[in-house]
Amino acid sequence: MIDVSAFNDALGIMFTSVGSWGWIVPGLIVGLVFSAIPGISITMAMAIVLPMSLYMDFFSAIVFLTSVYTGAGFGGSVPAILMNIPGSPSSFATTFDGYAMSQKGEHNEALGYALFASTLCGIAGYVLLLLVIEPLADIVLRIGPVEMFAVAIWGMMLLGSLGSTYISRGLLAAALGILLGTVGMNTAGFTRGTLGLPVLLDGIAPIPAMIGLLAASQLLSLASRDYIIEAEGSREVSLRKILKGCWGTLKYPGVLLRGSIIGIIIGAVPGVGSSIGNLIAYAETKRTAKDSATFGKGNPKGVIAAESAVASGEGGSMATMLALGIPGGGATAILIAAFMMHNIVPGPSFIETQKPMVYAIILNNIVQAIVLLAVGIGFIYVASNIMKVRTRYVLPAILVIATLGTFAVTGEAAGPITLFVFALLGYALNRYQYPVSAVVVGILLGRMLETEFLRSYQLSGGNPLYVLERPGAMAIFAVMFISLAMTAWGKRKQNRAEAAEALAMRQIQEETRAAHTTPSKG
């Protein structure tokens, strides 16, 4: 639990280093802008600014970098909602309902929902972190391959909620995605599907691949229009509507809570990163919602669920980093480097000896989330004006920026080439009505599925009963099956009711028809 005297010292650090607060706003803006550019992930945004932070003092550097992290957590959802192109993999699930809302002319509200969900759950994540940082870290370290495999399977269940016209094509597309996700050298050192190209040894870069798949289909469909939204009246940018969306978020506390819990736990697990939490939170929210049929057609709950998991995952990831010195994902790996470059090694001894500093970092992140609210509204307001620009100017600009984004970070042609190849694939998939999003889910989860399954197999020596020794894994599977069974039961009841209703309707129809036809025949 919280250590009161350390907490007071932390407040002291916060207020004696007021100068470092000045880095919050620039950090947030850098994070927002970079992650809103398709092709640049949160990790890359932080890698770009890391060398800059070397010239600041320790607390300022950490404030700046964590602000970039906080801003980047939200920035990706802006292109996701406005254009159906996720700025980074963690905002993939935001596209499902966010873009549908903006097509209905509700982009202002959608961005408001996303921003508020992001801020609230960001704060929730850090408050929880303040209370349970040490026990959480110990639990996280105990999560093994079997548990992770269960989580990956859970993520795959999102496929069921993507909804495509043909089930067979959906499954085939997912299988293709998983296959693509396993390209490269696997955890046991075997190399598959690299075509002899050294750049593919680490696998297909997920970000250019995802942007290629999604952007190609999306940009081509936009090219036939004059503006992103066709109805002229809907293209307005309204502060009132953004605020209405913000306010509306509070109507769904259950969605926020579920998203936060999923986000924190998945974010805290080392090596998973933020791109899976949003998928699971979305799928769970959709499956348990009464109005699940409207998901994917512009249900604000979809946006809230996805964004809440991304924002709270940040807190979880920071917990693992501070308490154990282990990166939860790419972004916290950069943060650890920044700590070490300032001669501080995060980990168990850091948290024991420097608790006030740990609390000060967490408190500062809460402040950042609050500041994000103001900066984010401004950012949304400016970014939404893209709706008023003709697509003939927007599309080429986005293509160029996305290509540059995939090139800039490594300076290798591999990024743009991946983008191009996957754009062609995306076009072909779309042309023959295979769901592109199923391929993306496969690419994002394929490697994790394979790695964790392989490790579970190695650990158990091939004995499936090993799962009985892992209560954590059993609990995850149990929750998953119960939740599935309950949905199936609910669906069955609903179907029966509908069938009965349809039967009754048909009977009435037949009776009336009978009443009409018999006399005319005679």
Partner 1 sequence: MTHFTRRDVFKISAGGVAVASGMVAMPSILRAATYPSRPINVIVPFATGGYNDRLSRAFMPYLEQELGQPLVIVNKPGAGTQLGNSYALNQPADGYSILCTSAAPYIPLTVLLQNAPYKVEDFSMINLPSRDYTLAATSSGGPVQTFAEVLEKLKKDPSSLSIGVQPASADYANMVLAFQAAGIDASKLRIVTYDGGGPARNATAGAQVDVGFVGGEGFLPLKSKVRPLAIFAAEKVDWYPDAPLIGATLKTDFVEGSQRGWAVSTKLKNEQPEIFKILVAAVEKASKNPKAIETLKLQELATTWYGPDASNKAYLDNAAKMAKYVDLLK
The single residue listed with the structure tokens 């920026």 is: 401
Which of 504, 383, 451 has the alpha carbon at shortest distance from 181?
A: 451
Q: Are 98 and 303 in contact (CB under 8 A)?
A: yes
Q: What does R_g of the chain's alpha carbons equal in angstroms? A: 24
Give the shortest CB-409-to-partner 1 separation in angstroms: 9
Shortest gap between Cβ of 355 and partner 1 (angstroms)?
A: 16
The number of residues that bind partner 1 (CB under 8 A) is 48
Q: Cβ of residue 68: shortest distance to partner 1, in angstroms?
A: 13
Per the DSSP assignment, residues forming a β-bridge with 191 are 185
Q: Which of 33, 27, 34, 30 is nearest to 382 (CA)?
A: 33
Q: Using alpha carbons only, what angle is made at residue 485 by residues 481 and 488, rounded to the nearest 5 degrees? A: 140
Residue 39 near residue 405, CB atoms below 8 Å = yes
* Amino acid (one-letter) located at 46: M
Q: Which of 75, 170, 315, 327 binds partner 1 (CB under 8 A)?
A: 327
Tell me if 412 contacts partner 1 by CB under 8 A.
yes
411 binds partner 1 (CB under 8 A): yes
Q: What does the block give as tokens for 380?
A: 């949304």
CA atoms within 13 A on the CB side of 265: 15
Stretch in the footprint of partner 1 (CB under 8 A) among 114-122, 152-160, 184-192, 236-244 = 184-192
How far is the CA of 303 from the CAs of 134, 200, 279, 376, in angstroms? 31, 34, 11, 16
What are the structure tokens assigned to 129, written together? 């972190």
**Among the residue ranges 124-132, 153-161, 241-249, 450-458, the one whose residues contact partner 1 (CB under 8 A):** 450-458
CB of 133 to partner 1, least distance (A): 15
Q: Choose the binding region for partner 1 from 3-11, 173-181, 322-330, 479-487 (rule: CB under 8 A).
A: 322-330
Residues 261-280 that bind partner 1 (CB under 8 A): 270-271
**Does the footprint of partner 1 cover residue 343 (CB under 8 A)?**
yes
Q: Which of 257, 341, 367, 401 forms a contact with partner 1 (CB under 8 A)?
A: 341
Question: For residues 121 and 321, which CB has a smaller minimum distance to partner 1 in the complex?
Answer: 321
> Minimum distance between the CB of residue 140 and partner 1, rounded to whole angstroms?
8
- Please answer whether residues 24 and 30 qualify as being in contact, where contact means their C-beta atoms are separated by less than 8 angstroms: no
- Check: CB of residue 114 under 8 Å from CB of residue 307: yes
DSSP string covering 349-404, please? Answer: HHHHH-HHHHHHHHHHHHHHHHHHHHHHHHHHHHHGGGGGS-HHHHHHHHHHHHHH
Identify the CA nearest to 134 among candidates 268, 1, 326, 267: 1
- Pairing type for strands 184-185 and 191-192 reads antiparallel
- Give dist(CA 304, CA 309) in Å, integer: 9
Helix (H) or strand (E) holding 184: strand 184-185
461 binds partner 1 (CB under 8 A): yes
> Residue with structure tokens 């994070």?
31
User: What token pair was written down for 161?
Assistant: 């909620």
Residue from 6, 29, 56, 141 touching partner 1 (CB under 8 A): that is: 141
Give least dist CB 10 to partner 1, A.
Answer: 22
Position 171 contacts partner 1 (CB under 8 A): no
Determine, following the binding rule CB under 8 A, whether residue 417 of this chain makes contact with partner 1. no
The one among 220, 454, 467, 474 contacting partner 1 by CB under 8 A: 454
For residues 39 and 328, which CB has a smaller minimum distance to partner 1 in the complex?
A: 328
Q: Is 464 in the site for partner 1 (CB under 8 A)?
A: no
Contact between 476 and partner 1 by CB under 8 A: the answer reads no
Tell me the window of 166-174, 354-362, 457-465, 478-486 that interacts with partner 1 (CB under 8 A).
Answer: 457-465
* Contact between 522 and partner 1 per CB under 8 A: no
How far is residue 361 CA from its own chain's centroid?
24
State the CB neighbour count (10 A cutoff) for residue 207: 25
Question: Interior CA angle at 149 toward 143 and 155, to 5°?
Answer: 110
Site residues for partner 1, 294-313, by CB under 8 A, read none
Q: What is the C-alpha to C-alpha distance for residues 513 and 257, in angstroms, rounded to an integer?
A: 52
**CB 182, min distance to partner 1, A:** 13
179 binds partner 1, rule: CB under 8 A: no
Shortest CB 499 distance to partner 1, Å: 49
Least distance (Å) between residue 335 CB and partner 1: 9
What tokens appear for 303 in the block? 């946006």
Neighbouring-strand partners of residue 184: 192
Q: Distance (Å, rounded) from C-alpha 389 to C-alpha 235?
A: 10
Q: Which of 26, 144, 248, 490 binds partner 1 (CB under 8 A)?
A: 144
Task: Select 269 or 429, whichever has its Cβ closest to partner 1.
Answer: 269
Per rule CB under 8 A, is residue 473 in the interface with partner 1? no
| Subset of residues 196 to 215 that bind partner 1, contact rule: CB under 8 A | 198-199, 201-202
CB of 353 vs partner 1, minimal distance in Å: 12
Residues 80-139 that bind partner 1 (CB under 8 A): none
x-or-dash pattern for partner 1, window 18-47, by CB under 8 A? -----------------------------x
Options 2, 52, 54, 500; binder of partner 1; rule CB under 8 A: 54
Per-residue DSSP letter, 185 = E
Nearest residue (CB) to partner 1, 104 versus 455 = 455
What residue ranges bind partner 1 (CB under 8 A)?
47, 50-51, 54, 140-145, 185-189, 191, 198-199, 201-202, 270-271, 324-327, 333-334, 336-337, 340-341, 343, 345-349, 410-412, 451, 454-455, 458-461
